[in-house]
Structure 1
Amino acid sequence: MDLKQLLGQSRGRRSMLQALGVAAVGISFGGLAACGKGEGKKLANGEEGRLNFYNWDTYIGETTLDDFKAATGVEVTMDLFDSNDTLFAKFKAGNPGYDVIVPSNDFVERMIRADMLQPLDHAQIPNIKNIDPAFINVDYDPGRKFSMPYTWLVLGIGYRKSKVKTRPDSWKVLFDSDEYKDRIAWLSEAGDMYRLYGKYLGKSVNALTPADIETISAMMIKQKPYVKKFHEDDGQDLLMKGDCDIVLEYNGDIAQVMTEDDDLDFLVPKEGSQFNSDTLAIPKGAPHPKNAHAFINYILDAEVDKKITETILFPTPNAAAKALMPDSFRNNPVIYPPADVLARCEYAKFNEKLQPLYEEAFTKVRAA
Structure 2
Amino acid sequence: MKRLISMAAVILAAVIGLAVWSNSLQKAQGATGDNTLNLANWGDYIDPALVKKFEKESGYHVNLETFDSNEAMYTKIQQGGTSYDLTVPSEYMVEKMARAKMLVPLDKSKLHGLNNYGSLYMNRSFDPGNKYSLPYFWGTLGIIYNDKYVSADEVQHWNDLWSPKFKDNIMLIDSARDIMGFSLRSMGKSMNTTDPNTLALAKAKLDQMSPNVKAVVADEIKMYMAADESELAVDWSGEAADMMANNSHLHYIVPSEGSNLWFDNLVIPKTAKHYKAIYAFLNFITDPKNAAQNAEYVGYSTPNTAALKLLPKSVRNDKQFYPDATVIKRSEVYKDLDPKTVGLYNDLYLEFKMYRK
TM-score by length of 1: 0.84
Give, in whole Å, the separation in 2 of the partners of 1:189 and 1:34.
Answer: 29
1:63 matched residue in structure 2: 49
Task: Write the mapping of 1:35-74 to structure 2, written as runs, cut at 5 A.
Answer: 36=32, 39=33, 48-74=34-60
2:93 matched residue in structure 1: 107
Match of 1:93, as an amino acid? Q
With over 3 angstroms needed to count, the CA separation of the structure-2 counterparts of 1:288 and 1:57, relative to structure 1, is: same
Match of 2:90, as an amino acid? S
1:276 matched residue in structure 2: 262
How much is the aligned-residue C-alpha RMSD, in angstroms? 2.0
Match of 2:68, as an amino acid? D
Match of 1:237, as an amino acid? M
Match of 2:135, as an amino acid? P
The one of 130, 149, 160 aligned to 1:163: 149
1:286 paired with 2:267, answer: no
Question: Is the contact between residue 30 and residue 84 of structure 2 (CA under 8 Å) also seen in structure 1?
Answer: no
With over 3 angstroms needed to count, the CA separation of the structure-2 counterparts of 1:230 and 1:304, relative to structure 1, is: same
Give, in whole Å, the separation in 2 of the partners of 1:152 and 1:254.
Answer: 13
Give, in whole Å, the separation in 1 of the partners of 2:324 and 2:222.
Answer: 22
Question: Is the contact between residue 309 and residue 316 of structure 1 (CA under 8 Å) also seen in structure 2?
Answer: yes
SS of residue matched to 2:332: strand
2:353 matched residue in structure 1: 366
1:76 matched residue in structure 2: 62
Match of 1:202, as an amino acid? G
Question: Is the contact between residue 185 and residue 248 of structure 1 (CA under 8 Å) also seen in structure 2?
Answer: yes
SS of residue matched to 2:155: coil
2:133 matched residue in structure 1: 147
Give, in whole Å, the separation in 2 of the partners of 1:285 and 1:260.
Answer: 39
Cα deviation for residue 291 of structure 1 reads 2.2
Question: Is the contact between residue 258 and residue 330 of structure 2 (CA under 8 Å) also seen in structure 1?
Answer: yes
Give, in whole Å, the separation in 1 of the partners of 2:238 and 2:156.
Answer: 18
Question: Is the contact between residue 150 and residue 317 of structure 1 (CA under 8 Å) also seen in structure 2?
Answer: yes
Gaps of 5+ in 1: 1-27, 40-47
Give, in whole Å, the separation in 2 of the partners of 1:301 and 1:281.
Answer: 17
Give, in whole Å, the separation in 2 of the partners of 1:311 and 1:282.
Answer: 24
Question: Is the contact between residue 132 and residue 317 of structure 1 (CA under 8 Å) also seen in structure 2?
Answer: yes
Give, in whole Å, the separation in 1 of the partners of 2:177 and 2:342.
Answer: 7
Question: Is the contact between residue 118 and residue 282 of structure 1 (CA under 8 Å) also seen in structure 2?
Answer: yes
TM-score by length of 2: 0.86
SS of residue matched to 1:71: helix
The one of 324, 330, 334 aligned to 1:344: 330
Question: Is the contact between residue 198 and residue 208 of structure 1 (CA under 8 Å) also seen in structure 2?
Answer: no
Question: Is the contact between residue 53 and residue 79 of structure 1 (CA under 8 Å) also seen in structure 2?
Answer: yes
2:18 matched residue in structure 1: none
2:303 matched residue in structure 1: 317
Cα deviation for residue 31 of structure 1 reads 3.6
Give, in whole Å, the separation in 2 of the partners of 1:233 and 1:270.
Answer: 26
Q: Larger Cα Rg: Structure 1 or Structure 2?
A: 2
Identity across matched positions, percent:
33
Give, in whole Å, the separation in 1 of the partners of 2:101 and 2:160.
Answer: 41
Give, in whole Å, the separation in 1 of the partners of 2:302 and 2:259.
Answer: 18
2:16 matched residue in structure 1: none
1:267 matched residue in structure 2: 253
Match of 2:269, as an amino acid? P
Choose 203-212 or 114-123, whichever is displaced more. 203-212
Match of 2:58, as an amino acid? T
The one of 340, 344, 355 aligned to 1:357: 344
Cα deviation for residue 91 of structure 1 reads 0.9
With over 3 angstroms needed to count, the CA separation of the structure-2 counterparts of 1:95 and 1:339, relative to structure 1, is: farther
SS of residue matched to 1:265: strand
Cα deviation for residue 33 of structure 1 reads 4.6
Give, in whole Å, the separation in 2 of the partners of 1:62 and 1:206.
Answer: 35
Cα deviation for residue 208 of structure 1 reads 4.2
Give, in whole Å, the separation in 1 of the partners of 2:60 and 2:167.
Answer: 54
With over 3 angstroms needed to count, the CA separation of the structure-2 counterparts of 1:74 and 1:121, relative to structure 1, is: same
Give, in whole Å, the separation in 1 of the partners of 2:194 and 2:231.
Answer: 29
Aligned length: 329
With over 3 angstroms needed to count, the CA separation of the structure-2 counterparts of 1:208 and 1:269, relative to structure 1, is: farther
The one of 236, 258, 277 aligned to 2:222: 236
Give, in whole Å, the separation in 1 of the partners of 2:57 and 2:120.
Answer: 30
Match of 1:205, as an amino acid? M
User: CA offsets per residue over residues 96-118 of structure 1, 9 Å max, x none?
Assistant: 11111111112111211222111
The one of 175, 178, 188 aligned to 1:189: 175
Match of 2:305, as an amino acid? A
Give, in whole Å, the separation in 2 of the partners of 1:69 and 1:82.
Answer: 25
Give, in whole Å, the separation in 1 of the partners of 2:203 and 2:243.
Answer: 32
Give, in whole Å, the separation in 2 of the partners of 1:287 and 1:324.
Answer: 34
1:334 matched residue in structure 2: 320
